[in-house]
């Protein structure tokens, strides 16, 4: 009997070590959450969104922007309610861990990693393309590599400095959009250089064009859900996550509408639909040197802010999966001095570099969008399950999504519609993505699952995550 007691004590100690040794430091507030969410997303207003014009026309682009905005408002509601009670790294992965089980959480974690790894590669590609546009002799690849290496190092050194820096450059790039608007004298019709009627092409493909445009309309807001990935590092998850996410979403909707209006009024639809950097092209169309310089700086800063946030989010998802033994545990090590998941950060860097090396911007964007949309669909399902397992009043929430189940239904319907829209022009990417995640699921089921310690998989929930109602 004494031996049994000693053995149990040893197991308990081992379990405690597994759940406390790999903890991240709590230093973030609402400002940092805003900087993380908006910093990742704002680059979508400087590039990528304009492919909606080639798919659905000028008017179809605006409709897709607002419809997808409704999708993301619903997503933020769902994401924030569940995320506000799970103070763990991993975001949607951590939610799936408690609500869906190992296989689903493995897939969601992998989708998050590729969503942000691909987005970081796209950001670096745009930086290289802009510099190449200044002088054709400038080779873009060295700048792609330099961008990703720089932010890998910054994230390695600490999350507080990383996201404080992100706040500064994100705020600066957001101001450049407003500056471009006022530089056009939009408030004075007699002096304004905006010509929406001349440059727009309306709705050339009808309703089906709007559906096709929704795929790239996602780019206006893609990544705002990444705020939940920093939950473990928030000083107060129940306050920082809701405030930072909601203010961030408001900022993005305003910025997206202004971006569409200015670009569609300065650039003809044919050119706008294929531009690599639409806001910078809009600045070039003004012919004003100072405006061109400001928007050049804003575009570069937005790409840097996004790449910086993506390195942060991808590494947190990979770290959380490793800590739970869904992938090899070597990536769950926290730096003894900087308190960052440094092995996860370093491991994902060459993967981003590999995708950046391809130079295929729309293909990289498409795989990032596909991964994100699959996560959104699963998030809608998790919201229904979360409310059933933990009804209002049963568990303390930092935020309560209003009008349930309407946000979850809107999220599900619009996510499926966007996925259907990807079929037009990118069906090969769609099938390749499904095959990839299917093969990854097979690998996990047949090979990796046996390494999972089911007793400690949910060990981190002890003390804040009660048993579901009626279980």
Q: How confident is the model at residue 11 (pLDDT cuts 50, 70, 90)?
A: very low
Q: Which residues lie closer than 8 Å to 351 by C-beta, 6 or more apart?
A: 117
454 pLDDT above the threshold of 80: no
pLDDT value for 458: 65
Mean pLDDT of 279-290: 92
Percent above pLDDT 90 for the chain: 29
User: What average pLDDT is seen over the chain?
Assistant: 84
pLDDT value for 181: 93
Mean pLDDT of 122-139: 76
Q: Is residue 155 part of a domain?
A: yes
Q: Is residue 127 part of a domain?
A: yes
Q: Is residue 352 part of a domain?
A: yes
Q: Is residue 11 part of a domain?
A: no
Helix (H) or strand (E) segment spanning residue 104 = helix 102-134
24 pLDDT above the threshold of 50: yes
Q: How confident is the model at residue 94 (pLDDT cuts 50, 70, 90)?
A: confident
Of 24-38, 280-294, 380-394, 452-466, least confident by mean pLDDT is 452-466
Q: Is residue 110 part of a domain?
A: yes
Of 222-236, 336-350, 369-383, least confident by mean pLDDT is 222-236
pLDDT value for 226: 78
Q: Is residue 295 part of a domain?
A: yes
Return the closest-CA partner of residue 202 out of 188, 217, 213.
Answer: 213
265 pLDDT above the threshold of 90: yes
Return the closest-CA partner of residue 317 out of 213, 401, 398, 223.
Answer: 223
Q: What is the pLDDT of residues 309-364, one digit of tens each?
A: 888 888 988 998 998 888 888 898 888 888 888 999 999 988 888 877 776 766 77
Count of domains in the chain? 1
CA dihedral 257, 260, 266, 271 (to 10 degrees): 180
- On the question of a cis peptide bond just before residue 405, with omega within 30 degrees of 0, the verdict is yes
Q: What is the pLDDT of residues 149-207, one digit of tens each?
A: 888 888 888 888 888 888 888 899 999 999 999 999 988 888 899 988 888 888 998 88
Cα-atom radius of gyration of the chain, to the nearest Å?
Answer: 22
Q: Is residue 263 part of a domain?
A: yes
224 pLDDT above the threshold of 80: yes
Separation of alpha carbons 371 and 375, rounded Å: 7
pLDDT value for 426: 78
- Determine if residue 140 is left, alpha or beta; phi over 0 gives left, psi from -120 to 50 gives alpha, anything else beta: alpha
Separation of alpha carbons 136 and 153, rounded Å: 29
275 pLDDT above the threshold of 90: no
| CATH number of 231's domain | 1.20.1740.10
Contact 277, 126 (CB under 8 A): yes
375 pLDDT above the threshold of 90: yes
- Provide the domain limits for residue 340: 36-461
Q: Which residue has the higher pLDDT, 283 or 39?
A: 283
Mean pLDDT of 104-109: 93
Q: Is residue 31 part of a domain?
A: no
């Amino acid at each position: 009997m004494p031996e049994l007691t000693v053995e149990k004590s040893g197991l308990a100690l081992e379990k405690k070590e597994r759940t406390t040794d790999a903890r991240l430091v709590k230093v973030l507030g609402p400002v940092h959450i805003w900087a993380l969410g908006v910093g990742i997303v704002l680059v979508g207003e400087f590039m990528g969104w304009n492919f909606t014009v080639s798919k659905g026309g000028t008017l179809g682009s605006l409709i897709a922007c607002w419809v997808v905005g409704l999708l993301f408002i619903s997503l933020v509601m769902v994401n924030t309610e569940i995320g506000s009670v799970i103070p763990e790294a991993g975001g949607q992965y951590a939610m799936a861990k408690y609500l869906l089980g190992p296989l689903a959480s493995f897939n969601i974690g992998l989708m998050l990693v590729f969503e942000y790894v691909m987005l970081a590669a796209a950001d670096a590609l745009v930086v290289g393309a802009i510099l190449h546009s200044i002088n054709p002799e400038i080779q873009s690849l060295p700048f792609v590599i330099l961008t990703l290496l720089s932010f890998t190092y910054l994230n390695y050194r600490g999350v507080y400095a990383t996201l404080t820096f992100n706040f500064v450059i994100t705020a600066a790039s957001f101001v450049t959009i407003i500056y471009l608007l006022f530089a056009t004298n939009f408030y004075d019709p007699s002096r304004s250089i905006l010509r929406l009627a001349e440059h727009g092409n309306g709705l050339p493909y009808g309703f089906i064009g709007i559906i096709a445009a929704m795929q790239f309309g996602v780019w206006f807001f893609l990544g705002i859900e990444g705020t939940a990935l920093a939950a473990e590092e928030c000083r107060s998850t129940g306050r920082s996550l809701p405030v930072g996410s909601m203010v961030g979403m408001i900022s993005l909707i305003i910025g997206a509408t202004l971006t569409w209006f200015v670009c569609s009024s300065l650039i003809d639809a044919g050119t706008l639909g294929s531009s690599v950097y639409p806001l910078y092209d809009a600045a070039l169309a003004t012919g004003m040197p100072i405006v061109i310089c400001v928007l050049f700086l804003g575009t570069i800063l937005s790409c840097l802010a996004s790449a910086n946030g993506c390195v942060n989010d991808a590494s947190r998802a990979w770290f959380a999966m490793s800590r739970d033994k869904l992938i090899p545990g070597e990536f769950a090590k926290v730096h003894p001095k900087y308190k960052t998941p440094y092995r996860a950060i370093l491991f994902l860097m060459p993967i981003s570099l590999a995708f950046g090396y391809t130079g295929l911007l729309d293909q990289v964007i498409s795989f990032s969008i596909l991964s994100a949309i699959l996560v959104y669909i699963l998030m809608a399902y998790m919201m229904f399950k979360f409310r059933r397992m933990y009804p209002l009043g049963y568990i303390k929430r930092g935020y309560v999504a209003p009008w349930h189940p309407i946000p979850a239904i809107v999220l599900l319907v619009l996510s499926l519609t966007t996925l259907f829209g990807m079929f037009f022009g990118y069906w090969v990417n769609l099938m390749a993505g499904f095959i990839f995640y299917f093969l990854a699921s097979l690998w996990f089921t047949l090979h990796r699952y046996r390494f999972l310690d089911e007793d400690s998989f949910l060990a981190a929930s002890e003390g804040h995550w009660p048993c579901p109602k009626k279980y």
